[in-house]
Amino acid sequence: MATLRDIQCGSKAKVEKVQGAGGVRRRIMDMGITKGCEILVRKVAPLGDPIEITVRGYELTLRKADAEMILVK
């Protein structure tokens, strides 16, 4: 299964699972990234960090480390 970090710019993906534990996982889920939601990868910085996505109608920027915790299909 791929992570959000592996998705190419301009592609859509569906969240399968948010990995991790504790505060970081909770923060990701509080931003609206939950199982079953669709994510559009809008931009990726030249060095790969951060990643700009659209989720549930709003734009969000994630670090690579956070994007690796999100399993997508």
pLDDT digits (tens, 9 = 90+) for 14-71: 999 999 888 889 999 999 999 999 999 999 998 878 999 999 999 999 999 999 999 9
Q: What angle do CA 26, 17, 45 make, to 5 degrees?
A: 80
Q: What range defines the domain where residue 52 resides?
A: 2-72
User: Residue 62: which CATH number?
Assistant: 2.30.30.90
In the chain, the amino acid numbered 22 is G
Query: Considering the entire predicted model, what is its pTM?
Result: 0.88
Handedness of CA 15, 21, 25, 26 (dihedral sign): positive
Nearest by Cα to 51 from 19, 4, 3: 4
